[in-house]
Amino acid sequence: MANGLVLIGEINPAAKSAAVGFFTRTGSRDETPEINGVSHFLEHMLFKGTDTLSAQQVNEEFDRRGAQFNAFTSEENTVYYAAVLPEYLLEITSLWGELMRPALRDDDFDMEKNVIKEEIAMYADTPTFDVVDRCRTLHYGAHPCGNSVLGSIESIDALTAVQMREYFARRYAPNNMVVACTGNFDWDRFCTIVDERCGGWKPQQVDRPLSHFEGTKQAERLAKPNLNREHICLIHTGVSAQDSRRFAASLLAMVVGDDLGSRFYWELVDKALAEAASMQFNAMDGTGMFYSYLRCSSDGAARVMETVQRIFREVQTDGITEEELTKAKNKVLSALVIKNELPMGRLVDLGFNWMYLGQYRSIEDDVESAKAVTVDEVNTLVRQLDPGSFTQYSLGRGAAV
Amino acid sequence: MESKTDKCVLPSGMVLLGEPMEGVESVAFDFMLPAGAAVMPEGTCGAANVASDWIFRGAGPRDNRALGDALDGLGLHRSDSVGSSHLSVGAALESSNLAEALALHADVILRPHLKDEEFEPAKQLALEGVLALDDEPRQRVMVELRKRFYPSPLGRSTSGEIAELKRLTTARTRAVIKDTFDPAQTIFTIAGKYDFDAVREQMEQAFGACPAGTPRSIPTTPRAGKYTHIPNDGAQVHIGLMTETVRFADDDYYDIRVATSILSGGMSARLFTEVREKRGLCYAVGARYHSLKDAAGIMCYAGTAPEKAQETLDVIVAEFRRLAEGITAEELERAKIGLKSSLIMQSESSSSRAGAIGSDYYMLGRVRSLEEVKQRIERTTVDSVLACLRNHPFEEFTVVTIGPTEVRVG
C-alpha cells in the first residue's frame, strides 16, 4: 500500500479455514532497559480495545465468529493472528485492523500489570522456559537480543502508560508491518478491507540497528532448592534469517539434536544419561543462534556435559555423514508438508519470509532449498561455527556438581 | 461438512477405522493398544511408559539402532502416548511412506525384542520423566488432580509412580506387555491420504493370525480426598479443580460441552472475564471438559500469586455454580459457533482426525460424522443446557494446589 504496509496472501481454495496475521517488526530487542517488557505488554493492551470498543466487546467480537485467535511476542516480532472459517475472514481481518489503533487506556494498563506479573511468575515456575530465557540473556550480554521478552517484575512495575504510548507510536507504523493471509479467502476483498482499515495510517521513520554478535560464551548456574532435575541450556552463535546457509543450519540442528534419531538422542537419551536432549536453530534478524536444552539428574550433569562436548568435537572434526543428512532432510520435508496443510501453520512462514527477506517463498521453494543442501555445505558451516564454544546456563537444586 | 468412515473388523476382533481426507498429502495413523495406565496390574504404575520405550529398542529383523534409523528415514513424526485406557503408538508422515511405516509398527507391536540390556535405560527414562514432572507444577497439579478425582485406578498418573517404577523388573514388564498388548482389543485408526483396500490387506497379513481376545473390565474404588496441598517454594500457587459431570456417551453430552464453553470457551467466556479481565488475578485460567469412558468431569487450572490464591479459587467456584442460574442466548450462540469452528478446523489435520475417530469408537462403539456432531451442537438450547446443569449440579469439587501456601476449600 502507499503507506508502506505490505499485504501478502497465499490462497488455497480447498482449505476449510483461513488464517490472518498482523506481523509487527518490534520486540524486546527494540527496547531500552527502562522500558523492558513494553513490546509484550503492548501485545496484551491491543486486546483491550479502541476508543469505540471495550475489552469485553473485543473478546465477544472474536468469539461470536468462532475465531481461534491470539498473539505472541518474541525478541523481534509481535504477531497477532486468527484462524477462522472462510465466511468470517473479512470481518476478523477488519477487527484486527481496527485493534491495531488501540485506546491504550490508563485503567486497562493498571489492571493488566497484574496479569503480566502473573505471567512472569508462571514462567519462573517453568524451568524449561526459564533456563532458555536466562541463557539467552547471558549469551547476548549487552547486545539488545539479550533483553527479556517479558521484562522483570521491577521493569514492569516501573513502566508507565506514557512510555508505552510513546513506544507504540514509534513502532506500529504501516511501513514496519505486514498483513498476511492464507487458506480459503478472496484476495481482492481482503485487500479492500485492509485498505479501508489501514490505508490512512501514516508511515514514519522506523529502524532497527542490526549487528551480529558472537556471544559472551560464559557459563553460569543458579541453584533453586525446589527443583529436582538439572536443566541446562547451551547457546551457539548461528547464521541469520537472511543468510542462505540457514537451511544447512536447520539440518545441522536436526542431525545433532532432533528429539529422536539424532546424535544427542543416541548418545544421551537412548542411554538414559539425559531424559531430554534437543537442539534447535533459530534464525533471527541479522544474527542467529542454536540452542540446546538438556534435562538430567544433577549427579549426572557432568557426564552429560562431557558427552555433549565429545559430540560437538566429533561433528567439528569429522562432520556429518551423507546418511545423516538424508534422514534429516526427510524429517524436515515431512514436517513442512504436515505443517503447511493447515492455513494457520502456513501463515507464520508466509509472514516471516516477507518480514525477513522481503520475498514470497512458496512451500516448494523451501522444499527445494532444503533438498539442495549438501554434506559439504553443512560441514563447512560447522567448522565456521566452532561448536566447541558456547554459552551455558544451568538451573538445579543445590550447589554445582 | 461431509465425512466418510472406512471400517473393517479383522477376524481377531481388531478394528480398523479410516477417514479419507481431500487435498492432503499427509497421513496419520494410531494403534490404540488396550495397555493404558488404568489397565496396568496393581503395583506396576508406569509399566506402560517403560513398555512404550522398550518395544522400540529393536523389533523384527532390526536391532535398536537399525529400527530407529529405519523409522527416521521415513520422516515419521512419532506420537506415542500413555492414556488412562490405552497406550497409543502412532505417527504422521507423507503418505508415500505409509506401507513401510505400518510394516515397522507391526514389528514393534508383535515382535519387539525386549532385550534385557535395553530394559534399564527404558525404565530409567520413565523414572526421570516422573521426576521431571516435579519441576513443572502447572502440569503436575493436573496429574495429581486426575488421580484424586477419578475413581481409582482410572485417574492413575499416565507418567507412572516412582516407587512402582523402581520395583519393576524385566520379567514383570515382559509379562505385562504379553498380557496387555492384545491385538484383538486394539483399535487402529488412519486419516488423511491412504488407500483403504491396501491398508486393510496389509493389516490382515500382519495381524490376521492373532487370537481373538476378550475385553477386560476395570474394577474401581471411590475417589479419595477432597483437598490436597503439595508444598512447593515456587513463585505461584498452581490450582487444579475438577467436578463431576455427564459422560461422553450420555445424551446431554452436547449440553455440557456448550455449558463448558460458556464457562471457558473463549476470551469472552465467564472465567477469563471474571478472573483475569475484571480482577487481574491470573494470567492462565481455563476449564475444559474431560471424559473417560466411565466417568467425566470439568477440570480447571489457574496459577496465581500466593496472596491471591484464595480469591481466585472462590471466584472460580462461584462461576461454576452461577452457570445453572442462567445463561444468555448470546452466550449460547458464541459457544455453539466456537465449538463448530474448532470442529471444522480440527478436521483439516490428519493427526486430529485419526485421534478423534479412535476415541469415538472406544467411547461409543461407532464414529460420529462431522455432520452429526454439528447438528447435535446446533440442537442445544438455553433450556436444554440449563436443564442439564440443574440435573447434574456441581456439588463436590476435588481440589489440588501446589505452591507456597494452602487454600481453604469450602
Give yes or no: residues A360 and A325 share one domain: yes
Nearest neighbour of A15 by CB, restricted to B305, B334, B348: B348
The domain locations on chain B are: 6-207, 227-403
Taking an 8 Å cut-off on Cβ atoms, the answer to whether A125 and B236 are in contact is yes
- φ, ψ dihedrals at B266, nearest 5°: -140, -170
- CA-nearest residue of chain A to B340? A66
- List of chain B residues whose C-beta atoms are within 8 Å of the C-beta of residue A59: 266-268, 272-273, 277
**Phi, psi torsion values for B227, nearest 5 degrees:** -135, 130
- Give the gap in angstroms from C-alpha B217 to the nearest C-alpha of chain A: 34
Query: Is A353 among the domain residues?
Result: yes
A29 and A154 belong to one structural domain: yes
> Quick one: A160 and A249 in the same domain?
no
Cα separation, A304 vs A295, whole angstroms: 9
Residues of B in contact with A117 (CB under 8 A): 305
Is B344 in contact with A16 (Cβ distance < 8 A)? yes
Q: Provide Rg for chain A, Cα atoms.
A: 22
Q: Specify whether the CB–CB gap between B134 and A396 falls below 8 A.
A: no
On whether both A193 and A239 belong to a single domain, the answer is: no
Q: Cβ contact (<8 Å) for A126 and B136?
A: yes
Give A55's contacts in chain B (Cβ within 8 Å).
277
Instruction: State the pLDDT confidence band at B225, using cuts at 50, 70 and 90.
Output: confident
Which residue type, as a one-letter code, is found at position B300?
C
Q: Both A155 and A274 in a single domain?
A: no
Q: How far is CA B197 from the centre of its chain?
A: 29
CB B223 within 8 A of CB B150: yes
Question: Which chain B residues contact residue A255 at CB under 8 A?
Answer: none
Asked if pLDDT for residue B217 goes beyond 90, the answer is no
C-alpha grid cell for residue A215?
556471544
- In three-state secondary structure terms, A188 is helix
- Smallest Cβ distance to A114: which of B235, B280, B350? B280
Q: Residue A173 has which C-alpha cell? A: 507504523
Q: Is the CB of A122 less than 8 angstroms away from the CB of B135?
A: no
CB contact under 8 Å between A337 and B25, yes or no, is yes
Domain limit, last residue, from A143, A166, A198: A198
Residues A262 and A309 in one domain: yes
**CA–CA separation, B288 and B257 (whole Å):** 9
| CATH number of the domain where residue A20 is located | 3.30.830.10
pLDDT tens-place string over residues B156-183: 999 999 999 999 999 999 999 999 999 8
DSSP, residue by residue, A43-96: HHHGGG--SS--HHHHHHHHHTTT-EEEEEE-SS-EEEEEEE-GGGHHHHHHHH
User: Looking at the predicted structure, is the pLDDT value of residue B224 above 90?
Assistant: no
Which stretches within B295-369 are classed as H helix? 309-322, 329-346, 350-364
pLDDT, tens digit (0-9, with 9 covering 90-100), for B264-306: 999 999 999 999 999 999 999 999 999 999 999 999 999 999 9
CB atoms within 10 A of CB B26: 23
Ranges assigned E (strand) in B282-344: 285-291, 296-304
Q: Which of B129, B234, B342 is the closest to A125 by Cβ?
A: B234
- pLDDT tens figures, B328-382: 999 999 999 999 999 999 999 999 999 999 999 999 999 999 999 999 999 999 9
In a domain, residue A378? The reply is yes
Shared-domain flag, residues A271 and A342: yes
With CB atoms and an 8 Å threshold, state whether B238 touches A125. Answer: yes
Domain-located, residue A1: no
Q: Do B125 and A261 lie within an 8 Å CB cutoff? A: no
In percent, how much of chain B has pLDDT > 90? 92
User: Does residue A214 sit within a domain?
Assistant: no
- The CATH class given to the B6-207 domain equals alpha beta
A170 and A225 both lie in a single domain: no
Q: Do domains B6-207 and B227-403 have the same CATH topology?
A: yes
pLDDT of residue A398: 79
What is the rounded CA–CA span in Å between residue A113 and residue A293?
31
In a domain, A245, yes or no: yes
Residues A112 and A227 in one domain: no
Q: How is residue B112 annotated by DSSP?
A: B
Nearest to A228 among B69, B135, B236 (CB): B135
Q: Please give the CATH number for the structural domain made up of B227-403.
A: 3.30.830.10
Give backbone dihedrals phi and psi of B208, rounded to 5 degrees, phi first: -65, -30
**Nearest-by-CA chain B residue for A266:** B65
Consecutive 10-residue runs of chain A (401 residues): their mean pLDDT? 98 95 98 97 98 97 97 98 97 98 97 97 96 97 94 97 98 98 98 98 94 91 95 96 97 96 98 98 95 96 97 97 96 90 94 96 94 98 93 89 53
Instruction: Specify the number of domains making up chain A.
Output: 2
CB contact under 8 A, A116 and B283: yes
Q: Does A148 reside within a domain?
A: yes
Q: How confident is the model over B297-341, as pLDDT tens digits?
A: 999 999 999 999 999 999 999 999 999 999 999 999 999 999 999
Whether B215 has a pLDDT exceeding 60, the answer reads yes
Mean pLDDT, residues B204-227? 83
Partner-chain contact A63 B268, CB within 8 Å:
yes
List the domain range (segments joined by +) for residue A303.
219-396
Residue A204 falls inside a structural domain: no
Q: Is the pLDDT of residue B22 over 90?
A: no
> Does residue A278 form part of some domain?
yes
Å from A35 to nearest chain B CA?
A: 21
From chain A, the residues in CB contact with B92 under 8 A are 334, 338
